[in-house]
Chains A and B, each alone.
Chain A
Amino acid sequence: MSGVRPTRAARAGRAVVITVALLWSLGPVAYGVLLSVRPYADVTRDPLGLPSGLDLSAFTTAMRDEADGGFGLGRFVLNSLGVAAGTVALSILVCVLGAYAAARLRYRGRAVTNGVILAVYLFPGIVLAVPKFVILSRLGLTSSLVGLLIVYVAATVPVALYMMRNFFLALPRSVEEAAIMDGCSLGQLLVRVVLPIAVPGVVATAIYVFMIAWNEYFYALLFLVQHRDLWTAPLGIAQLGDFQVPVTVLLAGSIAVTVPVVIVFFLAQRYIVSGLVQGAER
């Protein structure tokens, strides 16, 4: 046993690694928060200074509508919320069904469909950006949030299927078998038996899907750059960076769109992580 126990040097080394890692991970975020509560003139005059008070005007300026002298981030956030909520609803609906079939039902062609879905998950997304853009603009959807919603559902279905299948595989089979013996129909089985015990997994997947849609930048840029009223929050912040917007306002906007995701992620962290890394244990 004694050979496995860390020496004092090893423990000191570990403390150093952990301290450096925390500074490296959180340092930039703390810097962003500190700047967002300082007046812009202060930041340019003394870049290394600390906040002298709590100045939240950058946040209100970022959020207020352009008509009120703000930068309209409030509206961008609403656009993002709408698209992300729609993506979660559609993607989860499709994936609960697909993941249950992949985890439990033995149908002909199951190996092939599972393989196709995994291949899609690994397929380079940028290659498909070109045809997706062409198809959706042929259909007149590239200048609308609906087009973005379609792309986001497609982008999240493979990873949501993968996560949810892992959750279903971890559930006990016995309850479902009893329900089938009792003559439960497929719909009853799913709604009354499977979903109630799968709630943590579904919620974790939903949060992960929400994060992907909320954070997405590339397709928003590709589709909506010309339509300022439709900008999502990430696109809005990135575009405003090219204008003469004070950096404190940009940072306030960045922090404002980050905080909700970080909080929600940490509430469901354990489930999301276990859904993602299952399969890595082997």
Chain B
Amino acid sequence: MTARTPGDTLARRENRRGWLLVSPSLAVVALVVLLPFVLVVVFGFSDMRLVDIPYLGTEPVAWTLDNFRQAAASQAFRGALWTTVLYAGLTSAGSVAVGLALALALRRPFAGRGLVRALLLVPYVLPVVAAATIWKTALNPQYGVVNAFGRAYLGWETPVGFLSTTSAEVWGVPVPVALLVVVLFDIWRSAPLAFLFLTARLQSVPGEIEEAAALDGANRRQALRFVLLPQLRAVALLLLLLRFIWSFQSFDDVYLLTEGAGSTQVMAIQVYTELVTKADIGSAAAFGLLMSLILVVLLIGYVLLSRRTDES
């Protein structure tokens, strides 16, 4: 409460101190986020390839809209967009649903709850490369445990290439096998985080609310449906949005498991391919910009939605 002390020299000193302390953080943000952001816009609107890097800053920029035109016309880009939306949508819904189930199951104290909670976090803490190596091994057609089990006990005639099969018929319904495996993998890794946030929110719900609902004659299901879940709505919505944003740009999970095989070419892999394989900086930048445009639209939608629910 130093601000209450009379005289504006104190306020001014606090102002100076604030800027002094926060300036290293701002410098990092400016140098490694804002500057690259300006550059990615420039690259997106110019014709630039990897071989041009040594001349960067010495030659005038050749402005062009070609990158965006090509992206809009490209079949691969549209395919990747659809794959990414499907992947991010399924992953976010799945990870929040699993997180919610876990949070509700572990809501009441029981012996060993702390340990169970900690163990459930293991997939979240595991390095993604280690996790992918384990999953790839388990799903391997030759020596993987899943195929061995399926052939020994479930009567599978041929091994299933889980990470390379685009689509397979299961009881007559076409199923995108590889994509679903990647979604499952991402849910496995990200549900613990949703579980943590939902648990934190649940713990701050006062017990009296539930008791009052019980006194009013609500049964357990009604108490859950009308008392607990509304309390979790805001956090669940935020988690859905964050997971969608993160999965929308996820590269590691998909690339490590499939390298884009089996129709799992998401947008992030497209950006990587444009940059590394095709050595086309302009086109990679344009792809990235289009991705962020979609995310910005989504964020605005979320803000409008949460404002409307706040008012009602």
Contact = CB atoms under 8 A, between A and B. Distances in A.
Contacts of B242: 122
Contact of A222 (B203, B220, B276, B285): B276
Contact of B145 (A2, A14, A48, A133): A48
Interface stretch (B73-81, B89-97, B175-183, B286-294): B286-294
Interface stretch (A53-61, A64-72, A105-113, A197-205): A105-113
B289 to A, nearest CB: 7
Contacts of A124: 245, 248-249, 288, 291-292, 295
Contact of A126 (B20, B53, B251): B251
B277 to A, nearest CB: 12
Interface in B1-52: 1-3, 11, 14-22, 24-26, 28-29, 31-33, 35-37, 39-40, 43
Contacts of A109: 19
Which of B105, B116, B152 has the most C-beta atoms of chain A within 10 angstroms of its own C-beta? B105
B56 interface: yes
B142 interface: yes
Given A154-B33, A261-B127, A97 B137 contact: no
Interface stretch (B118-126, B162-170, B304-312): B118-126
Nearest to A122: B245
A128 B102 contact: no
Contacts of B21: 97-98, 100-101, 105, 186
A22 interface: yes
Interface residues of B, number: 109
Contacts of B71: none
Nearest to B26: A113
A217 B252 CA distance: 7
A120 B26 CA distance: 11
Contact of A211 (B43, B125, B132): B125
A43 B24 CA distance: 53
Given A129-B271, A130-B271, A262 B122 contact: yes
A81 interface: no
Interface string A13-49: 0100110011011101101100100000001100110
B47 to A, nearest CB: 14
B33 A120 contact: yes
B249 A125 contact: yes
Which of A7, A107, A117, A127 has the most C-beta atoms of chain B within 10 angstroms of its own C-beta? A127
Contact of A214 (B20, B43, B127): B127
Given A18-B116, A107-B15, A128-B36, A138 B128 contact: no
A94 interface: yes
Interface residues of A, number: 101
Interface in B247-294: 248-249, 251-252, 256, 267-268, 271-272, 275-276, 281, 284-285, 288-289, 291-292
A280 B215 CA distance: 28
A178 to B, nearest CB: 11
A266 interface: yes
B53 A134 contact: yes
Instruction: Report, nearest first, the 4 A-B pairs whose CB atoms are least far apart.
Output: A107-B18, A3-B214, A98-B25, A154-B32
Interface of B: 1-3, 11, 14-22, 24-26, 28-29, 31-33, 35-37, 39-40, 43, 53-54, 56-57, 101-102, 105-106, 108, 116, 118-123, 125-138, 140, 142-145, 147-149, 152, 188, 192-193, 196-197, 199-201, 203-204, 210-211, 213-215, 217-220, 223, 235, 242, 245, 248-249, 251-252, 256, 267-268, 271-272, 275-276, 281, 284-285, 288-289, 291-292, 295, 299
15 contacts: A4-B220, A14-B105, A21-B102, A28-B188, A109-B19, A127-B291, A129-B288, A130-B281, A134-B281, A137-B53, A157-B25, A218-B251, A250-B137, A280-B235, A281-B204
Given A18-B106, A94-B28, A173-B1, 11 more contacts: A4-B211, A4-B220, A43-B143, A47-B145, A100-B21, A107-B17, A138-B56, A154-B32, A234-B128, A241-B136, A254-B127
Interface of A: 1-4, 6-7, 10, 14, 17-18, 21-22, 24-26, 28-29, 31-32, 35, 43-44, 47-48, 93-95, 97-98, 100-102, 105-110, 113, 116-117, 120, 122-135, 137-138, 150-151, 153-154, 157-158, 161, 173, 177, 180, 186, 211, 214-215, 217-218, 222, 233-235, 237-238, 241, 247, 250-251, 253-255, 257-258, 261-262, 265-266, 269, 273, 276-278, 280-282
